[in-house]
């Protein structure tokens, strides 16, 4: 029962760490699942072929009108930014304010996260104009409650009968409560704006919000929602023709309320179901209703977001303006921001320029596939057939599919700013523009691809990386994603063919290109090309040998380096050969490291003159960044923490190192009575202590191997920060052995000098035979301490006590509190407390050791990577 309770406590702390992340993901997923369950009947009636047929029938003039008004509706949202610009007296130009607003609003519409995406983007973008994050935090918090006030006004319009949604509310009674709840938000907002509490928390302490500002806020929000509703009405009128303005605006308002309550990005799911239900009640078929939704999502969300992607690619792409953007701003967070773990998103948002270009390339690939899946306008097909030959059209169609798949695969490399991906993508964009034009004169897609290519070319200086770490699981995901996209391409194409093309009088002329069999063939060919490209990227990636371990030449260079440079307590582990060496500052500073997934883990602190260490760390970070990797320092000492802090690192306490001051070590006195008694007993029984020096004779080494094998009992040896039983490695330093009265070795301990002028000696491997008498290791340590003291050493390092004194403060981090529980109750798996108590017998001084990691790195994920690094199988010769 006690063990169960202990495990429950650990589980409870783990749950508190991940509960927030689970909640913010599960709520939208649960709502989308509920929407699907409730709308199965409506969704089952939708024909994708008829939907695309409805879209193709729209006149070009109507499409142009909708497109322009949709852009105007999105531009209206910039009124929010102009409002906070005036209210907070932000010194930002008119055009810059508009650009920032467009980027933040369009990304917030697509990604969402309850407005946190827009808030984070605004903070980063305005920072480029000299606005401090603290001021922008106040502006964002001030803006947050304003956004839905316009929808609240429309809700009052529904209640007073200005908009007609009686049928929808009668059939779905719960919507009445949603409408009333949104309507009552308006008086609550006004009271909040005029309250002194709001002024104190959100209004920078400058008194109550003036009535004029309240009026401007309401007007801006009402204009935004009204323009969005009119955009929806224009689309519905173009597709459905006979629709009432009152009915459509009312239905749109109810759908928008449902979308907001769902917490999903863009209200996806709930909004769409309400629209389908509302239009079905008006008597319109599901295919035409779906066409309205597709056009609204396209013109109001996707197209403005693509424009925002292009703007953000240029806005955040200037190398001259990137200084300081990676730093996470520090300012007090409200509960809503802490709930969504903001500003933890700043790492992603600060690199939005490259991310945006990557998504534009991804969208380009999807656009090519969609273009290939859907036929061009019939007169274009006829014109293409007359000007070009049928084989050219077929080849262009096939190339369009293949290039589309390849662009999707390369989009990840663009986001990671890899140089080769930039070169390949530029070539493929140009080829894609040519192929989609010769396929059916689809000049719109060709122009779009050329614009993306131009944006890439203008940002060419940002693609400096030689490669990036992508583990095999990521490759499996990309293989699966490309297969899903290939199936979606085939499914859309075949449904378009069956739902629309077969009814056209010219279907026989274009059947060769858009029939089910050609779709299946091109999907398979495109998928094969994508998989071939993925395989090449996996096999030929340049970062595979970034951490291959030090060879004999490097180890000899290390020996020469340590003659003139002071090492540390972990320096001897470098001779194991499993670490790679990064020589910084013209070879004056050494950073030993190993690779674990996308992280370069440095063992201990950099070795070299302290004055050169900051620049050496920056040099190593730049090297790691060329491969999209992060630098982590494992078992960092307190002396170097200020240096790491200046480079943006956070810290987690790993435990404490037991350092015995040898000048104070003695077995006299009452406190050492137990140790003195054990030593005397072993002396009487004829046990002999000896320190043997390399090179070791083969019989001695084989006897040591026998002891080691009995101690290991088939377990896998750990490494990285520990040594392991290997002859080449063990012959780098002396070994202390304890023999019985027959001369047989019962236990041994390998030594690790500190390479600091004979001041420090550490213990490395500790092994003993099975069935040794109690106190064997105590005697070995006692004799070893006495020997080191006699040799003139000042400090003896007994090794680390993991998780010791971690998380004991009430204000400690949640992760450290979890570590404290593991230390307290983890004896079932690992003797944390017992190890500390054992080392306490030798009266050591405890010195803390830390994990220094970048702010954007997830600590739980890093912990898993470190466990994998330490637990890798050791092969002969130190390779892992």
Question: What is the pLDDT at residue 771?
Answer: 83
Residue 305 half-sphere exposure, CB side, CA atoms within 13 Å? Answer: 19
Question: What is the pLDDT at residue 495?
Answer: 59
Which residue, among 685, 666, 667, has the nearest Cα to 675 in the 3D structure?
667
Within the chain, what is the greatest distance between any pair of CA atoms? 109
Would you say residue 793 has pLDDT above 80?
A: yes
562 within 8 A of 529, measured Cβ to Cβ: no
Least confident piece of the model among 454-463, 555-564, 639-648, 843-852: 454-463
Cα three-residue angle 701-784-688, rounded to 5 degrees: 65
For residue 735, CA distances in Å to 318, 753, 797 come to 58, 11, 15
Question: What is the pLDDT at residue 814?
Answer: 58
Report the C-alpha dihedral over residues 36, 42, 46, 51, rounded to 10 degrees.
Answer: -100
Question: What is the pLDDT at residue 874?
Answer: 52
The SS3 call for residue 425 is: helix
Strand partners, 736: 691, 749
600 within 8 A of 631, measured Cβ to Cβ: yes
Copy the structure tokens of residue 139.
């502006």
Would you say residue 232 has pLDDT above 80?
A: yes
- The residues, any chain, with a CB within 8 Å of residue 316's CB and separated by 6 or more, are 124, 125, 322, 325, 350, 351, 352, 353, 356
Distance (Å, whole) CA 397 – CA 404: 11
Read off the pLDDT band of 73 (50, 70, 90).
very high
Would you say residue 253 has pLDDT above 80?
A: yes
Q: What is the mean pLDDT of residues 324-349?
A: 40
Question: What is the pLDDT at residue 321?
Answer: 41
Would you say residue 3 has pLDDT above 50?
A: no
Q: What is the mean pLDDT of residues 848-865?
A: 83
What strand order describes the sheet that includes 649-661? 580-584, 589-596, 599-603, 630-636, 845-854, 649-661, 795-802, 760-768, 745-753, 735-739, 688-692
Which residue, among 593, 577, 634, 571, has the nearest Cα to 760 in the 3D structure?
571
Copy the structure tokens of residue 848.
């803390």
499 versus 862: which is more confidently predicted?
Answer: 862
- pLDDT tens digits for 796-838? 998 887 765 565 555 555 555 555 544 444 444 444 566 778 8
Question: What is the pLDDT at residue 394?
Answer: 61
Tell me the pairing of strands 745-753 and 580-584: unpaired
Q: What is the mean pLDDT of residues 180-195?
A: 83
Omega cis (within 30) before 167: no
Copy the structure tokens of residue 798.
């007994």
Distance linking the first and last C-alpha atoms of the chain: 41
Which residue, among 404, 621, 371, 612, has the nearest Cα to 513 in the 3D structure?
371
Q: What is the mean pLDDT of residues 49-73?
A: 76
46 within 8 A of 850, measured Cβ to Cβ: no
Least confident piece of the model among 111-120, 381-390, 660-669: 381-390
Q: How many CB atoms lie within 10 A of CB 385?
A: 15
Distance (Å, whole) CA 662 – CA 325: 49
Could you tell me how far CA 25 lies from the centroid of its own chain?
Answer: 15
- The residues, any chain, with a CB within 8 Å of residue 765's CB and separated by 6 or more, are 708, 722, 723, 724, 725, 730, 748, 749, 750
Strand partners, 584: 589
Strand partners, 747: 738, 768
Read off the pLDDT band of 89 (50, 70, 90).
confident
**Which residue shows structure tokens 């409200």?**
334
Average per-residue pLDDT for the chain:
75
- pLDDT tens digits for 596-646? 888 899 998 999 999 999 999 999 998 888 888 889 999 999 999 999 988
Would you say residue 230 has pLDDT above 90?
A: yes
Distance (Å, whole) CA 248 – CA 112: 25
Q: What is the mean pLDDT of residues 488-517?
A: 53
Phi-psi bin for 549: left (phi > 0), alpha (psi -120 to 50), beta?
A: left
Distance (Å, whole) CA 763 – CA 334: 49
Least confident piece of the model among 87-91, 691-695, 712-716: 712-716
Strand partners, 653: 850
Distance (Å, whole) CA 165 – CA 252: 10
Copy the structure tokens of residue 681.
């007993």
Q: Where are the alpha helices (DSSP H) in 263-376?
A: 270-281, 286-296, 303-315, 335-339, 346-350, 352-373
Which residue, among 246, 244, 242, 278, has the nearest Cα to 259 in the 3D structure?
278
Question: What is the pLDDT at residue 98?
Answer: 92
Would you say residue 587 has pLDDT above 70?
A: yes
pTM comes to 0.62
520 versus 32: which is more confidently predicted?
Answer: 520
Copy the structure tokens of residue 182.
């949104």
Distance (Å, whole) CA 316 – CA 854: 22
222 versus 261: which is more confidently predicted?
Answer: 222
Read off the pLDDT band of 63 (50, 70, 90).
confident
Distance (Å, whole) CA 488 – CA 151: 36
Q: What is the mean pLDDT of residues 406-429?
A: 83
Question: What is the pLDDT at residue 6?
Answer: 42
The SS3 call for residue 802 is: strand
Tell me the pairing of strands 599-603 and 630-636: parallel
For residue 144, CA distances in Å to 117, 337, 576, 836 come to 12, 11, 57, 51
Copy the structure tokens of residue 616.
């050496």
Q: Where are the alpha helices (DSSP H) in 628-767?
A: 641-646, 673-684, 698-712, 727-730
Read off the pLDDT band of 878 (50, 70, 90).
very low
Tell me the pairing of strands 795-802 and 760-768: parallel
Cα three-residue angle 415-421-425, rounded to 5 degrees: 100
Looking at the chain, the whole-number percentage of residues with pLDDT higher than 70 is: 71
Read off the pLDDT band of 267 (50, 70, 90).
low
Phi, psi of 109 (to 5 degrees): -65, -40
| 57-61, 568-572, 651-655, 868-872: which is most confident | 568-572
Omega cis (within 30) before 375: no
- The residues, any chain, with a CB within 8 Å of residue 848's CB and separated by 6 or more, are 638, 653, 655, 656, 657, 805
Question: What is the pLDDT at residue 717?
Answer: 77
Which residue, among 229, 67, 91, has the nearest Cα to 158 in the 3D structure?
229
Which residue, among 297, 300, 310, 401, has the nearest Cα to 359 in the 3D structure?
310
- The residues, any chain, with a CB within 8 Å of residue 240's CB and separated by 6 or more, are 279, 284, 288, 289, 292
């Amino acid at each position: 029962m006690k063990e169960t309770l202990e495990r429950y406590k650990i589980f409870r702390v783990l749950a508190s760490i991940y509960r927030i992340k689970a909640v913010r993901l599960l709520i939208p997923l649960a709502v989308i699942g509920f929407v699907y369950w409730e709308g199965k009947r409506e969704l089952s009636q939708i024909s994708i072929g008829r939907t695309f047929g409805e879209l193709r029938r729209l006149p070009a003039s109507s499409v142009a009108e909708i497109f322009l008004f949709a852009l105007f509706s999105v531009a209206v949202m910039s009124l929010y930014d102009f409002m906070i610009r005036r209210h907070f007296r932000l010194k930002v130009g008119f055009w810059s304010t508009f650009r920032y607003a467009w980027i933040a609003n369009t990304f917030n519409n697509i990604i969402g996260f309850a407005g946190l995406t827009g808030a984070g983007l605004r903070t980063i973008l305005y920072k480029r104009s000299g606005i401090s994050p603290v001021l922008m935090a106040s502006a964002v918090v001030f803006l947050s409650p304003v956004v839905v006030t316009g929808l609240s006004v429309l809700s009052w319009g529904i209640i007073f009968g200005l908009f007609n949604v009686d049928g929808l509310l009668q059939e779905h009674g719960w919507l009445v409560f949603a409408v009333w709840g949104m309507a009552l938000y308006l008086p609550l907002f006004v009271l909040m704006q005029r309250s002194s509490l709001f002024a104190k928390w959100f209004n920078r302490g400058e008194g109550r919000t003036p009535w004029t500002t309240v009026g401007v806020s309401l007007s801006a929000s009402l204009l935004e929602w009204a323009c969005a509703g009119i955009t929806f009405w224009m689309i519905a009128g173009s597709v459905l023709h006979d629709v009432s303005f009152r009915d459509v605006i009312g239905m749109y308002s109810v759908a928008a309320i449902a979308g907001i309550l769902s917490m999903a990005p863009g209200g996806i799911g709930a909004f769409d179901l309400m629209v389908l239900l509302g239009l079905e009640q008006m008597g319109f078929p599901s295919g035409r209703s779906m066409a309205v939704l597709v056009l609204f999502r396209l013109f109001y969300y996707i197209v403005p977001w693509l424009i925002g992607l292009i703007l953000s690619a240029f806005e955040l792409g200037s190398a001259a303006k990137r200084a300081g953007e990676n730093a996470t701003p520090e300012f007090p967070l409200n509960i809503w921001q802490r709930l969504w773990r903001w500003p933890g998103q700043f790492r992603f948002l600060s690199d939005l320029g490259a991310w945006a270009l990557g998504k534009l390339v991804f969208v380009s690939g999807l656009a090519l596939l969609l273009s290939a899946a859907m036929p061009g306008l019939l007169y274009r097909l006829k014109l293409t057939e007359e000007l070009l030959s049928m084989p050219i059209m077929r080849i262009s169609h096939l190339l369009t599919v293949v290039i589309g798949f390849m662009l999707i695969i390369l989009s990840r490399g663009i986001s990671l700013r890899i140089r080769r991906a930039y070169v390949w993508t530029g070539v493929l964009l140009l080829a894609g523009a040519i192929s989609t034009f010769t396929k059916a004169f689809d000049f719109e897609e060709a122009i779009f691809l050329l614009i993306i290519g131009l944006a890439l070319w203008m940002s060419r200086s940002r693609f400096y990386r030689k490669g990036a770490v992508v583990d095999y699981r990521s490759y499996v995901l990309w293989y699966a994603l490309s297969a899903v996209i290939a199936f979606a391409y085939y499914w859309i194409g075949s449904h378009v063919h069956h739902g629309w093309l077969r009814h056209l009088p010219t279907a026989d002329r274009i059947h060769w290109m858009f029939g089910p069999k050609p779709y299946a063939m091109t999907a398979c060919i495109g998928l094969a090309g994508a998989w071939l490209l993925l395989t090449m990227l996996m096999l030929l990636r340049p970062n595979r040998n970034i951490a291959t371990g030090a060879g004999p030449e490097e180890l000899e260079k290390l020996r020469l380096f340590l003659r003139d440079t002071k090492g540390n307590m972990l320096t001897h582990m470098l001779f194991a050969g499993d670490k790679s060496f990064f020589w910084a500052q013209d070879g004056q500073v050494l950073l030993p490291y190993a690779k674990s997934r996308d992280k370069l883990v440095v063992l201990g602190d950099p070795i070299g003159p302290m004055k050169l260490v900051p620049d050496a760390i920056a040099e190593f970070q730049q090297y790691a960044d060329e491969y999209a990797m992060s630098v982590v320092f494992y078992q960092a000492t307190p002396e170097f923490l200020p240096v790491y802090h200046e480079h943006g690192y956070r810290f987690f306490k790993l435990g404490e190192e037991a350092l015995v001051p040898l000048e104070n070590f003695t077995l006299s006195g009452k406190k050492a009575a137990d140790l003195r008694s054990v030593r005397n007993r072993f002396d009487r029984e004829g046990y002999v202590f000896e320190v043997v020096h390399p090179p070791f004779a083969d019989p001695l080494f084989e006897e040591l191997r026998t002891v080691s094998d009995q101690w290991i009992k088939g377990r896998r040896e750990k490494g990285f920060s520990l040594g392991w039983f290997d002859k080449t490695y063990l012959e780098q330093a002396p070994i202390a052995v304890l023999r019985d009265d027959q001369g047989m070795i019962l236990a041994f301990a390998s030594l690790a000098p500190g390479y600091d002028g004979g001041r420090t000696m550490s213990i490395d491997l500790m092994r003993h035979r099975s069935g040794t008498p109690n106190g064997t290791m105590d005697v070995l340590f006692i004799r070893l301490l006495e020997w080191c003291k006699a040799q003139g050493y000042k400090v003896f390092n007994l090794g680390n006590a993991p998780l010791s004194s971690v998380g004991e403060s009430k204000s400690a981090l949640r992760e450290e509190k979890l570590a404290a529980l593991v230390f307290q109750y983890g004896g079932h798996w690992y003797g944390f407390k017992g190890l500390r108590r054992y080392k306490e017998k030798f009266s050591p001084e405890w010195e803390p050791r830390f994990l220094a990691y970048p702010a954007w790195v997830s600590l739980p994920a890093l912990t898993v990577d470190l466990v994998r690094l330490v637990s890798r199988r050791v092969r002969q010769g130190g390779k892992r």
